[in-house]
Every structure is written in structure tokens, then in C-alpha cells.
A and B are shown apart, each in its own frame.
Chain A
Amino acid sequence: MDFLSLTNLSKTFGAATAVEDFNLDVEKGEFVSLLGPSGCGKTTTLRMIAGFELPSTGKITVDGEDITNQPPNQRNVGMVFQSYALFPNLTIGQNIGFGLEVRKMPKPDIQKRTLEMLELVHLEKHINKYPYQLSGGQQQRIALARALAISPRVLLLDEPLSALDAKIRVELRLEIRRIQQTMAITTIYVTHDQEEALSLSDRVVVMSQGHIEQIGAPTDIYNDPSTEFVAQFVGQLNMIPVTEVDLRKGTCILAGQRVKFEPSPNQIISSEPRLAIRPEELHLGTGEGRNALQGRVESVQFLGSVVRLRVHVDSAIFSADLFNERRITLPRAGDEVVISFPEQSCWLI
């Protein structure tokens, strides 16, 4: 039985549709991310689960209970905001205890739970400080502790890391996952950062313009994107126009050279077929059983662990990622090179 179910959910603001026919079932303890570009309806979906927005149509159930029209303060759903939203007039301890105090929990129990939560986020010694005395990362940890203190049925996070700088972001991301797993709490995480979504989640929901494009495990989303949008939005993708496509044999012509791909006789292809391949699947030099293309290096970009080449093959441009090695000899702009890739690494769109 699914723990959290969103059924045929939609939301319109006046004439504009923010979320359309949204269906998602989440298991207990699962971590699901909503990923998509700005304005695609992630926050609106989350706010409907929290109760800050009433769905125009559809149903939300938690643990079998219909909460679609329940007021937000009765849902027992924890929420973490991008802006932390700590109460500035209360100390860290009082912030964490707020939800328990509202529930009229006895004082000693509140104290005990508050300490537990502070330990969970490793900020015990800040209990008597005020929010403005903490850094952004610390404040967001407190916000997380505050949301978890009430033992919510579902935890909702709306871009909780986007106000923080890169290093803290990665650190806190790991911490969120650790805490989520220790407490086995059902979590919906909204982000437009694909790395965040892929690294954190059990499943990712990719959204575009208010509807779901694909739901799947991170590796499925990345390696088997079911729509062009997903393929383009998640990760980098080369999409090169091809001609003379033979789906049964798995061949086509790319920039005058023959290229093989895995045969897919039943696929329906567009009138302007393109070959899709991830930059990291491309290698320099030939290899046995690989497609090989002759081209010229246009630019070399050194990014640290990765070196990104732009290679002209006739009029087509490939982006190719190589892993850095200490003794690597990089090609230079203008060099003639051969790039190659196995046939199972590319697909036709």
C-alpha cells in the first residue's frame, strides 16, 4: 500500500495551469525528488501536499487518509523552506520545540525531544542562541530539526539548499539524506538542481510545464530518458541530425559517415531524426566495434576532473567529456582527431 498518493492532481490560477493531471504514489520511507525548470509547478505541487494551496481537482491521501481539504495545521506534514523561515524572536531551542509546544506536550518531554533533534543535526551547543547568530547552513539544519521534531508523516523540502554556497550545499545534502534514512521518513524534495535530485533520491519525478515527464530511479532517468525533454534537461546531451535511418538494421548516416546504433524496429521517429549521445560516452581514438568519426577539435575546456572538448564533425558539433589524468596529453584546438563510441551508447530520437 502506498503511503502518500497524489491522484489526478491539478491546480489552475485563473486561466493559467500550474499543475496538470499529476499522479504519484510514494512508499513509506521513500525519498522522491521533483525536478524541473523554473515555473514547471514543483512548488505548487508541494504546497498542495502541505495544504497551503487547494487543488483544483484531484485527491491527496496519506496513509489511507484523505487530506485533500484538511487545513495545513492539521496535516502533520513537516516543511522546510528555501528561506529557512526560523522564528526570529525565539531561540534555537524554542524554535525546535515550537511544534511540540503547540501540541501541548509536557515541558520535560519537549526538552528531551529538542535535545535529540539538536544532536541529530550536530548543533547542541547553539540551543540558546537566536537564529540571526547562526550561519545559513546552520539555520537550515535547525529548520530541518524543527520540521522533524513533530514526527511528521511526510517531510517536504522546497529548494532547501539553494540559498547556500556550493560547499555547504553538498555537505548538507549528504546530511539530509543521512537523517532521512535514519528516521525512515517519507520525503518529497523540490529542486531544479539535477545533481541534487540524482544524488539524493530513491526516485526522481521530472516535470515540465505542469505535467510529469518521467518518474524513475536516478539511473533510469539518466540512462533511459523516456522523452526528449528529460534527455535534454537531465545531464548533457549531443543531438546530431542524421539521414537514411534504418531502424531494423540500426544504421544511419551522420555527416556523411555511417553510424550504427542498437536496432529498434518498433520505434517511431520524428521527421527530423537525430542521434542522441552523452558527452561522457565519447572517446578519443578508435576502438574495436565502435563507431568512429573523423573530426577537428574546436575548443578544449579544462574543468578539473573532467576535460570538455568541442569537436566538429563536418557541420555537426559534438561535446565530448574526458576524465582528467595526471599525465594526460590534451589535444589542442585545430587538431584532427577521431572520436568513437559503442553502438549501445547512442539512441535515436
Chain B
Amino acid sequence: MKRRSFWSWVWIVLGSLYFILPLYSTFDFSLREKKGVLSFLSYKNVFIDPNFWDTIGFSLEIAIFTIIVSILLVVPTVYWIRLRLPQLRGILEFISMLPFVIPAIVLVFGMIRVFSGAPFFLTDTYFGTYALLVAGYVVLALPYVFRAVDTGLAAIDVVSLTQAAQSLGANFGTILIRLIFPNLKVAILSSAFLTLATVVGEYTIASFLVGIKAFGPYMSLIGQNKTYESSSLAIISFMFTWSFMGLIQLLSRGKAASTSLAGAR
């Protein structure tokens, strides 16, 4: 017993060091822009750069559209598959995993090839380009969104609930809005945060479609040009991602507490 807890502590410490040391050194380095003293100067420089705010604002906007489109696409699809075509679930799951296998660079080249020319000419306008960007991100986010929604729907008896609602007079629109979406609140929120974190930090697709307008390419540019600012930017985006992860944890913990209460009966 003692031995076991000793070794588990060793692993925990090693794991934490592996994780925390680089982060700490980056943080420490980011404080040394002013010679000889520790200061937040590099952070100040990041925050007073209007490009920082423009790019992060742009990426957040794109992220929000991505979230809306993916949710509206995935929730009704997965719901319908679970309700009427359960034999197709495996295929859907396979499709949702493709973004893990196909590199983003292949995706973006494919998209540009197909949609920039006739008859679409999407990249000729801002709107078209942004739409293409959102579409690409919807694909990238698919594994997370599908997984979260699918698990969320597995937790409720979709078939019986749908039939109960139908026998009470509800149509599919009402069922989706009043029953399915509200029951997926946690699943939707957690996939939304994951999507947000993915989109805001994404580099490949953004740099090919909109370049420096997006936060990912901006970060990379800073990384090439400004030594200290690149470190502080890395820390900032870490904090950003982590606070979302924390939020997901918090939300799903609240949910877990209420379901374990239900399970206790």
C-alpha cells in the first residue's frame, strides 16, 4: 500500500514537471523584456497592439459562427440517426473521425480548389471566404461536436421521449426546441468551448484563407518577429484555453451531481 502510493507520487511529480517546467520557463522568459528586472512589459506590448484585438476579435466571431453552424447541423442529424436510422450510426461516427486523419492542409487545398473557381467563386468576396473558413472549421470541430452530442443523446431515451411528445401533439420542430436542445445543454456547451479553443488557435486553414486577419497566423507572425511578446502571447492563449477547459469541467460537474442524485433512487 505504502509502496504504491510512493510510486504514484513519483509519477505525479514527474508528470507535473514535464508539463509545468516548460510553461514556467516560458512565463519566466516572458517577464524579462526589460533588462535586469522582472516586468509585464511584453504583456503590455501585446495588449496595446491593435492587431492583437483585431485578430482575436475576428477569430472569436468566426468561432461563434462555427459553433452555431455545427450545432444546427449535428444535433438534428444525430437525433434523427438515433431515432430512425440507428444502423447508420457507425458510418456517421467514422465520418466524424476523418478530420483526425486528414491533415488540415489537405482540407484547405481541397476547399480552395473546389470552391474558389467556377461555379462558386467563394474566395472572390469577403463573405464567401469567411463562409468557407467557417465551413472548414465546422469540419475540424466535427469530432468534438459529434462525440459530445452523441453521448448527450445516449443519456436520454430518445425514442420514448419523442413518441411521448408526439402522442401529446408535438411536431419535430417543437420536440427539437423544447426537448432535445435543452436536454443537450451541457453537451452543447462543452463542444462549443472545445470548438472555440480549436478555432481561435487554428493556423493552417486560417493562413491560407484569410492570412494575418486571424489570431493563429498573427501569433505565428509575432513568434517569428518578437521574442518576448511571443512568449507572453503563448501564456495568454494558454490561459484562454485553460479557462474554457475549467468552465467545461465546472458545467459538467454540476450536471454529474444532479444525475447522480437521480441515480441514487
Contacts and interface: CB of A to CB of B under 8 A. Distances in A.
Interface in B149-203: 156-157, 160-161, 163-171, 174, 178-179, 182-183, 185
Nearest to A82: B160
Given A85-B163, A89-B179, A102 B265 contact: no
A102 B262 CA distance: 28
> Which among A89, A103, A135, A136 has the greatest number of chain B C-beta atoms within 10 A?
A89
Given A50-B163, A52-B163, A132-B258, A88 B156 contact: yes
Interface residues on A, range: 20 to 34
Contact of A72 (B156, B167, B265): B167
A79 B169 contact: no
A214 interface: no
A151 to B, nearest CB: 11
Given A79-B164, A85-B164, A73 B265 contact: no
Given A89-B182, A132-B258, A132-B265, A150 B168 contact: yes
Interface residues of B, number: 24
Nearest to A81: B160
A61 B207 CA distance: 64
Nearest to A99: B168
B102 interface: no
Interface in B200-246: none
A102 B163 contact: no
Contacts of B164: 79, 81, 85-87, 143, 146
> Which among A74, A81, A135, A150 has the greatest number of chain B C-beta atoms within 10 A?
A81
Nearest to B167: A79
B265 A98 contact: no
> Which among B156, B160, B163, B167 has the greatest number of chain A C-beta atoms within 10 A?
B167
Nearest to B183: A89
B261 interface: yes
Contact of A150 (B163, B169, B179, B183): B169
A217 B174 CA distance: 42
Contact of B161 (A72, A78, A87): A87
Nearest to B168: A99
Contacts of B165: 87, 98
A76 interface: yes
A73 B161 contact: no
Contacts of A52: 163, 166
Interface in A11-58: 50-52
Given A79-B163, A81-B163, A85-B160, A98 B183 contact: no
A254 interface: no
Nearest to B263: A132
A232 interface: no
Contact of A83 (B157, B169, B170, B261): B157
> Which among B157, B169, B179 has the greatest number of chain A C-beta atoms within 10 A?
B169
A277 interface: no
Nearest to A146: B168
20 contacts: A50-B167, A52-B163, A72-B167, A73-B167, A75-B167, A78-B168, A79-B163, A86-B164, A87-B161, A87-B165, A87-B183, A88-B156, A89-B185, A99-B169, A99-B170, A102-B168, A102-B170, A132-B259, A147-B167, A150-B169
Interface of A: 50-52, 71-79, 81, 83, 85-90, 98-99, 102-103, 132-133, 135-136, 143, 146-147, 150, 156
- Going nearest first, the 4 A-B pairs with the smallest beta carbon separation are A132-B262, A99-B168, A85-B160, A85-B164
Given A79-B164, A132-B265, 11 more contacts: A73-B168, A73-B171, A77-B167, A81-B163, A88-B156, A88-B183, A89-B182, A89-B183, A99-B168, A102-B168, A147-B167
